Amino acid sequence: GNSVTQMEGPVTLSEEAFLTINCTYTATGYPSLFWYVQYPGEGLQLLLKATKADDKGSNKGFEATYRKETTSFHLEKGSVQVSDSAVYFCACGSSNTGKLIFGQGTTLQVKP
């Protein structure tokens, strides 16, 4: 079945630093790929998604590109803010059902 592996956290950065959170997936077919964000005390919110190879998802300064050749969907942001502190989850959509398979999550802490 599908699986998702994220880089381990926590990741601690200073404000305005560059962020990369690595995500790789294993799947058959052509799954959709997602990044969700969870702020403290809240549920998960969709951050961005990509539905086919070479697509780039973007939102709130975050970007991720669907790389089929490396089965990756790394999350990047050029300049993080304190308000970006949260847990980030990479997810892979099953090609046959509506299910999402999630990575273990990466905690990001941004210090002023």
Partner 1 sequence: DVKVTQSSRYLVKRTGEKVFLECVQDMDHENMFWYRQDPGLGLRLIYFSYDVKMKEKGDIPEGYSVSREKKERFSLILESASTNQTSMYLCASSRTTSGNTIYFGEGSWLTVV
- The rounded distance, in Å, linking the Cα atoms of 8 and 23 is 10
Q: Please, are residues 80 and 19 in contact by the beta-carbon 8 Å criterion?
A: yes
**The one among 19, 103, 108, 110 contacting partner 1 by CB under 8 A:** 103
**The one among 21, 23, 44, 108 contacting partner 1 by CB under 8 A:** 44
Shortest distance, CB of residue 4 to partner 1, whole angstroms? 8
* Contact flag: residue 32 with partner 1 (CB under 8 A): yes
Shortest distance, CB of residue 97 to partner 1, whole angstroms? 5
- The rounded distance, in Å, linking the Cα atoms of 64 and 58 is 7
